[in-house]
Structure 1
Amino acid sequence: MRPAGKPRRLLAVVLPAAVSFALASCNAEPEAVKAESRPVRAVTTENRIAGDDIVLTGHVEAQNEASYGFRIGGRIVERLVNVGDRVRQGQVLARLDPQNEQNALRSAQAALAAARAQLNQASNAYDRQRQLLSRGFTTRAQYEQAEQANLTARSQVEDAEAQVRIAQDRLGFTELKADAAGTVTQRRAEPGEVVQPGQPIVIVARQNGRDAVFDVPAQMLQTAPGDPEIRISLTNDPSVTAIGRVREIAPQADAVTRTFAVRVGIDNPPEAMRLGSTVVGRVMVETGPVIEIPASALTRIDGQPAVWVVDPDKNTVALRQVTVDRFTPAAVAVSSGLKPAEIVVTAGVQALHPGQQVRLLGAQP
């Protein structure tokens, strides 16, 4: 029989060795996990000139509108155009009752005929006195009197001729004519009304150009470029487009909206952009250099936007706070916090921690 004490000593020797092997195995497993690199996707940052699309809604107006009115007063007997009618140069738009002006013209013509008869009589008397004076059969005083009567009669004829021309002009003023082709946009008087000189009768939009008019806030005017190219499209048919440039900015803000009316001249306006059509204007305003990264790269630190930046030498990541300038559905524009040529993690950001080893699956420029 074996002594009872020896197996106990052998067990005491074996147990510490097994425990030590097990502890060594446990310590080795975390080291292996810690050394393992996590695969991530990343992009390389670069500066870009960012811009914002400013979109405004406006309407189409004529570049020039003429308000036509009679140069004399009277009663309208005929208005020959309506709203929407196209007119040509020289077309009659409306007429006044011409009876008074016709009578004035006939009176002026009669006065001219009388003046010419007096001139003929005075001219004959002057010729006789001139011949008699050369022969010595009349006095110098009578000759000078006949000469003065001739000059007076000639002046009266010139005055009568001027009165006839004035009467003819006034008769012509009873017809209101368009001085350029265009489209009637408003009518301000109806037949039978008695109007005053210069009172608007019809308003015609001339066909020498069209404007897109927008109400623009003052702050937007300050940040807009000097001579931007504006893309204009119809709201009910965006396929109808045109290009325009700012032609005029109102010097004073609207009393109600506090906005400034900006007129944009449309280059070669399509036929579909009729007067009064509602249009949309778009202009790109540069906001300076920014760095755009995919939206999936964005995370948070202390409630602020942040991204994971890869150290290319150690292949470790660090969390860095950034300032976001604007958001788009697929990307974010970062104005500060990143530099060009840095590597930013775009996929796998939820499972990272500071100083973690990573393995790049693809750095995209």
Structure 2
Amino acid sequence: MALIRRLAKESSWRRMVWAAPAFLLALSGCGRDAESDAGAPRPVRAVVIEKSKLGETVELTGSIQPENEAALSFRIGGRIAERFVGTGDQVKAGQLLVRLDPQNEMNALRSAQARLTAAQGRLREARNNFAREQALLARRYTTKTKFDQAQTAMETAQSDIVDATAQQKIAQDNVGFTELKADTPGTIVARAAEAGEVVQPGQLIFRLARTGGWDAVFDVPARVLRDATRDARVALALTDDPNVTAVGRVRQVDPQADPNTRTFRVRVSIQSPPPAMRLGATVSGRIRLDPAAAIAIPAASLTETDGRPSVWIVDPATLTVSLRNVKVARFTSDAVIVSEGLRPDDTIVTAGVQALHPGQKVRLLDARQ
């Protein structure tokens, strides 16, 4: 039995000795396969980017307003005696619109004229006295004191004439101010007073839309202003009848945003507005944003480095990747709009971005445009 056990141990040892080289060879083969896998280029999907050709079209709603509008009011207060025009009327330059009761102003004018007449009489009397005193002084029949008094009286009378003339002119102007006239041709778009009312100086009576141009006025978000071209063309259409259209150009942008809506008031000058586009009508305006201002990339290509958005760039010569920071302008439903950091013909990785490291070689599965 001892002999049998010794022979069995020797046989087992021989099998282990012969199996060890085979096991070592297998291990070395596995190592070479792992090294081969580690050095192989990583397959990724990529896309060659280009400038976005789908410039976003923005549609806003606004209203038609006159390019120039004036608030008409009286310079003096009084009771409205007559009103000659109403809302919607076309008026000409110099046309009489409203008249106040001029009775008080006419009385003030008559009083000023009377004061002027009296001042003129005093001036004639003062001149005669001065001439007489001047002749007597030459003959030494009067004193220098009386001569000086006559001269002073004449100069005072002359000053009274100046004052009375000015008061008469003011009274005449006030009589003229009882009539409110249109300074330019236009359309009455609002009326704020009626005959019989007592109005105060500067109180709104009419709002006049001056002839010369109409504007489509919109409240525009800051993003639209930032991406719009400088000489943007706006396609306009009536909201209740889209077949009535016109073309406009941005004429004025308010420098400060509205404190409540945070939007900017934009006035678009309407070129040759059709008759159906009346003042106050609601219009829609469509503007195409500048497509050269941004590049659209797939959302899956975006990653993050040190808290900043970035993408993997493929070097077409060496087929290695590197990270590049980008500036995101906005997100859409299926893409990311990048405003800075990318150039046309750059190749970016769109799939497998989480498994890459700088300088890694890749194999492109596809490179679409």
The TM tier, using the shorter chain, reads 0.5 to 0.7
Q: Is the 8 A contact 1:92 1:177 kept in 2?
A: yes
Q: Pairwise mapping of residues 171-182 of structure 1 onto structure 2 (< 5 A)?
A: 171-182=175-186
Q: Pairwise mapping of residues 205-354 of structure 1 onto structure 2 (< 5 A)?
A: 205-235=209-239, 236-249=241-254, 251-253=256-258, 255=260, 257-288=261-292
**Structure 2 residue 57 is the aligned partner of structure 1 residue 53:** yes
Q: 1:219 to 1:100 in 2, by over 3 A?
A: same
Letter in 2 for 1:252: A
CA distance, structure 2, for counterparts of residue 242 and residue 285 of structure 1: 16
With normalisation by structure 2, the TM-score equals 0.64
Q: 1:135 to 1:233 in 2, by over 3 A?
A: same
Letter in 1 for 2:248: I
Q: Is the 8 A contact 2:235 2:245 kept in 1?
A: no
Q: Is the 8 A contact 2:82 2:99 kept in 1?
A: yes
Q: Is the 8 A contact 2:227 2:290 kept in 1?
A: no
CA distance, structure 1, for counterparts of residue 255 and residue 70 of structure 2: 19
**Structure 2 residue 120 is the aligned partner of structure 1 residue 116:** yes
Structure 2 equivalent of residue 153 of structure 1: 157
For the residue of structure 2 that corresponds to 1:215, the secondary structure is strand
For the residue of structure 2 that corresponds to 1:127, the secondary structure is helix
Letter in 1 for 2:61: T
Q: Can you give the 5+ residue segments of structure 1 that lack an aligned partner in the other structure?
A: 1-44, 293-324, 343-364
* Paired-residue identity, %: 47
- Structure 1, residues 54-74: CA drift from partner, whole Å, max 9, x if none? 111211101221111111111
**Structure 2 residue 132 is the aligned partner of structure 1 residue 128:** yes
- Following superposition, the deviation at residue 162 of structure 1 comes to 0.6
Q: Pairwise mapping of residues 37-186 of structure 1 onto structure 2 (< 5 A)?
A: 47=50, 49-50=52-53, 51-186=55-190
Q: Is the 8 A contact 1:232 1:281 kept in 2?
A: yes
CA distance, structure 1, for counterparts of residue 149 and residue 56 of structure 2: 90
For the residue of structure 2 that corresponds to 1:148, the secondary structure is helix
CA distance, structure 2, for counterparts of residue 99 and residue 239 of structure 1: 52
CA distance, structure 1, for counterparts of residue 253 and residue 216 of structure 2: 11
- Following superposition, the deviation at residue 333 of structure 1 comes to 9.0
Q: Which moved more, 1:237-246 or 1:183-192?
A: 237-246
Q: Can you give the 5+ residue segments of structure 2 that lack an aligned partner in the other structure?
A: 1-47, 298-330, 339-343, 348-368
Q: Is the 8 A contact 2:248 2:268 kept in 1?
A: no
Letter in 1 for 2:97: L
CA distance, structure 2, for counterparts of residue 264 and residue 335 of structure 1: 28
CA distance, structure 1, for counterparts of residue 105 and residue 337 of structure 2: 76
CA distance, structure 2, for counterparts of residue 225 and residue 271 of structure 1: 29
Q: Is the 8 A contact 1:217 1:260 kept in 2?
A: yes
Structure 1 equivalent of residue 350 of structure 2: none
CA distance, structure 1, for counterparts of residue 138 and residue 336 of structure 2: 110
With normalisation by structure 1, the TM-score equals 0.64
RMSD of the TM alignment (CA)? 3.2
For the residue of structure 1 that corresponds to 2:247, the secondary structure is strand
Q: Which moved more, 1:207-216 or 1:221-230?
A: 221-230
Q: Which moved more, 1:127-136 or 1:157-166?
A: 127-136
Q: Is the 8 A contact 1:250 1:262 kept in 2?
A: no
Letter in 1 for 2:148: E
Structure 2 equivalent of residue 310 of structure 1: none
For the residue of structure 1 that corresponds to 2:56, the secondary structure is strand
**How many residues are matched?**
263
Letter in 2 for 1:247: Q
**Structure 2 residue 162 is the aligned partner of structure 1 residue 193:** no
